[in-house]
A = this chain, B = another copy of it.
Amino acid sequence: MLLKAEIIAVGTELILGQIPNTNAQVISQALQEIGIDVYYHICVGDNKERLKEVFQTSFKRSDIIILTGGLGPTEDDLTKETVAEYLNLPLKLDENSLNRMKDYFKKTGRQIANNNYKQALIPEGAIAIENKNGTAPGVLLKYGDKIIVMLPGPPREMEPMLKETVIPYLSKMSTTTIFSRILKFYGIGESDLEERLKDLIDSQTVPTIAPLVGRAGEVTIRLTAKAGSKEEAQKIIRPTEEEIIKRTREYFYGFDNDSVEEIVAKLLIKLNKTISIAESCTGGLLAHKLTNIPGISASFDRGIISYSNRSKHELLNVKNETLENYGAVSEETAKEMAEGIRLSSGTDIGVSVTGIAGPDGGTAEKPVGLVYIGYADSSTVCAQRHIFSGRRIDIKERSANSALHLVRKMLQKLENPSNR
């Protein structure tokens, strides 16, 4: 049986456009992977009458209804109350949830407030879902042949509850699997990539082939197949996947949730190499990305954010004459920064970024978006020139991403010298 699901996000802040409904996207992706079709996303405000009307429509047409938001302690929060009322179920205190909430408050050094108690109420017959990152438990309710799930609105609370409890529970009920494989590329545009694969895309049946523009200069392709099991779907996808990678090898860098920072971190650890970072226009973003990966402290020694010329000279030994003759944004400075941080920190690799993130500070000769990435190891010192467009934050993102891809390529050469 094919299960139909829909997602109801509750919150006036959503329909006022104050925050985006990112939860619907995350939940849809997770349901799709376990073969459950999502047919509708709904957003409705914190209004009992309208929520009830929306829930009634969803309850009649779908097998699984996932609600997010409206589980907070305030009077505005009425998701559980409304659903329970519609289904004629009383709300009962869940002792476990209350105890966890008390522990949570104790741990964060705060007092439990009176209105938090209502967060521990769940509809009779429901199972509470533990919330490790907040106070509101989630609710999993089997009602006749329908499943109703209620999760908190904040993504950092919702996502772990979805992945650790809701998806494992629902996947037991689904008999088909939709399996997607994502291939990730860097250094090639969407249309160029599409032209290389035109014959495959034009004649596609199974798997389906969908190119998507990714973030910060990346392009991705999604291959999707439906089958009785994940293994079967993978078997359907594999020949197309291999053909695509064969044709695009120099741009392909990873699968699915691979991130370039994770690939770099794993290569550093695997190859037992240490790294240090000297960054200017990215202002810490490059090191931030790399240090998002657990375990990186084995390889990452230090970073220097040399915003001023003085700090480039004092901390990175960039020569004053280099700064005077070529400027802080130049190939020469990028190289000296990379070599300077490598030598002063005693790491195997040094990487640097210097550029103009804007919105001011550009000239005709050195426009906003001009960025140099430097790289140094014991045998190589080199730099790359880029011109990126967009806002200050986009230029920072693109620059940090480029630096990571440069380090990835250099590490992959070290890992497999014959290959590239």
A63 lies within 8 A of chain B by Cβ:
no
A254 lies within 8 A of chain B by Cβ:
no
* Cα-based distance from A54 to B305 in the complex (angstroms): 50
Assign chain A's interface to a size class.
Answer: 35 or more
Q: Closest residue to A288 on the B side, CB-wise?
A: B284
Q: Which of A86-94, A164-172, A209-217, A410-418 contacts B (4 or more CB under 8 A)?
A: A209-217
Taking a contact as CB atoms closer than 8 A, the residue among B42, B108, B290, B295 that contacts A283 in the complex is B290
Q: Which of A71-79, A122-130, A226-234 contacts B (4 or more CB under 8 A)?
A: A71-79
Q: Known contacts being A13-B212, A18-B212, A74-B211, is A304 close to B301, with CB within 8 Å?
A: no
Q: Closest residue to A9 on the B side, CB-wise?
A: B41
Q: Known contacts being A156-B391, A194-B115, A307-B303, is A282 close to B288, with CB within 8 Å?
A: yes
* Cα-based distance from A416 to B19 in the complex (angstroms): 34
Determine whether the beta carbon of B302 is less than 8 Å from that of A311.
yes
Determine whether the beta carbon of B292 is less than 8 Å from that of A396.
yes
User: Residues of B contacting A30 with CB < 8 Å?
Assistant: 17
Q: Closest residue to A105 on the B side, CB-wise?
A: B189
Select the residue from A24, A133, A292, A307 with max chain B CB neighbours within 10 A.
A307
Taking a contact as CB atoms closer than 8 A, the residue among B19, B307, B315, B345 that contacts A291 in the complex is B307
Q: Closest residue to A61 on the B side, CB-wise?
A: B53
Q: Which of A43-51, A235-243, A372-380, A401-409 contacts B (4 or more CB under 8 A)?
A: A43-51
Within 8 A of B (CB), among A188-205: 189-192, 194-195, 201
Interface pairs A-B: 8 shortest CB-CB: A283-B291, A17-B28, A284-B287, A284-B284, A303-B305, A113-B191, A41-B43, A17-B29
Q: Given A297-B308, A300-B307, 20 other A-B contacts at CB below 8 A?
A: A13-B210, A14-B41, A15-B38, A19-B212, A21-B24, A40-B43, A41-B42, A42-B43, A73-B191, A74-B194, A108-B387, A113-B191, A113-B195, A133-B390, A282-B291, A284-B288, A288-B396, A301-B307, A304-B304, A315-B315
